[in-house]
Amino acid sequence: MNIVRSILVRRETGIAVMIVLLCLAVGLYKPQFLTLNQLRVILLLVPLIMIVAMGQMLVLVARHVDLSVGSMLGLSAMLAGMMFRDMPYIPWPVGFVVAIGAGALLGLLNGALVTVFKLPAIIVTLGTLNLYRGLTFIVSDARQVDRQFVPSALKSMSQTSPIFGIPWIIFMALGIVLLAWWFTRHTIVGRQIFALGSNPSAAELRGVKVNQITLLVFTISGALSGLAGIMYASRWGFVNPSNTGAGFEFQVIAAVVIGGVSINGGVGTVPGVMLGVLLLGCVAAALPLLGIPGTAQGAIYGAIILVALLIDRSVRQQGIASLKMVRA
């Protein structure tokens, strides 16, 4: 009974129920939504958001926010794509190193600005969001990296599959999720991020190296954005200086917040974020089937962020109320 209860009150259960209800509702209206083929569509929509969301989750748990993920994705994808175009003799897997490395450096810069100058992350990353996007135009000379330059081996990662017809990039996203789960649950550093987010001053007194952890979460967020960048090149086969990753930050923040990560820091689980991303993917896949134009997506992401905030608030208040009951 207790186990059932504890499963029922978990945040993840709520999101899972929402996913099931959404799928059933759409499926009743349009039966083709509940087919394996549609599952494939949903799964192909989510890997990029999934990977970046894991980094964003760590940043939010540490009481910061990273608005620059979309621009970091774009810039690192562009650097890798230009390497493919201008230096075709370099083996293509090096592109992963370039993109992840570039992303990590950009994220490190965000983290350094936040820690060294004690600036709020929201303003720093609003600045770097534009700075990195501008840099993408500058390094690329405002030219797109076209399809023929992206190695076909890389592109096929989004199409061919090792098993069950599930493409490689989905397995990669799954790998990152497992890694993130292990990192947040079973490493000292991972737990320290939560300690820092719950109570920064207490964490510092407890011996948590606040600056190093802050640098780390921003660097991870950058590196994962870089990985998502090279996967963007794989998935879509081109890199465009203005489109690639633009507006991505809002989708990611929507997914992470609906996944139960508290904006006040210290709270968040990897399964929750994973379900949040899947929910977003289901919504995105359901829209065209329901005949809702793609132009409605932005409004829906915005509404999702606000609804998630409201849920977060009521959950927090219940938590406080139950604490008071225990004390009484």
Partner 1 sequence: MSTTGAPTTPAAAMHEAAPARPVWHVALVRPETMTLVLLIVAIIVASYLSPYFLDIGYILRSFTLSAEFALVALVLTMVIIAGEIDLSPASNMALSACLFAWAQASGIPMPIAIAIGLLAGLAMGALNAFMVIALQLPSIIVTIGTLTLYRGLAQIIAGDKSIRVPDWFIGIDKVMVLGIPVPVVIFIVAALVLGLILAGTIFGRQIYQIGTNEVAARYAGIRTRRIKLTLFLLIGLVSAVAGMMTASRLGSVRYDLGLGGELQMVLMAMLGGTYIFGGRGTILGTFLAAWLLVVVSTGMTVANLLPAIQLTVLGVLLIVAIIATNFIYSRTQR
- Footprint of partner 1 (CB under 8 A): 65, 67, 113, 117-120, 122-124, 126-138, 142, 241, 250, 253-254, 257, 263-264, 293, 295-303, 305-306, 309-310, 313
Q: Which is nearer to partner 1, 231 or 308 (CB)?
A: 308
Q: Which is nearer to partner 1, 159 or 314 (CB)?
A: 314
Min dist CB 187 to partner 1, Å, is 28
- Contact between 227 and 96 (Cβ < 8 Å): yes
Angle subtended by helix axes 270-289 and 168-186, to nearest 10: 150
The CA angle 273-262-200, to the nearest 5 degrees, is 120
Min dist CB 246 to partner 1, Å, is 10
Task: Mention every residue, 6+ apart, whose C-beta is less than 8 A from residue 301.
Answer: 250, 251, 254, 280
207 torsion bin: left (phi>0), alpha (psi -120 to 50), beta (else): left
- DSSP 8-state code for residue 111: H
Min dist CB 286 to partner 1, Å, is 16
Reduce the DSSP state of residue 265 to 3 states and report it: coil
Min dist CB 254 to partner 1, Å, is 8
- Contact between 246 and 70 (Cβ < 8 Å): yes
Min dist CB 239 to partner 1, Å, is 15
Q: Which is nearer to partner 1, 230 or 258 (CB)?
A: 258
- DSSP 8-state code for residue 135: H
Rg of the chain's alpha carbons, rounded to an integer? 20
Give bridge partners of residue 163 from the DSSP assignment.
Answer: 166
Q: Which is nearer to partner 1, 88 or 302 (CB)?
A: 302
Q: Which is nearer to partner 1, 96 or 133 (CB)?
A: 133
Min dist CB 132 to partner 1, Å, is 8
Q: Which is nearer to partner 1, 161 or 297 (CB)?
A: 297
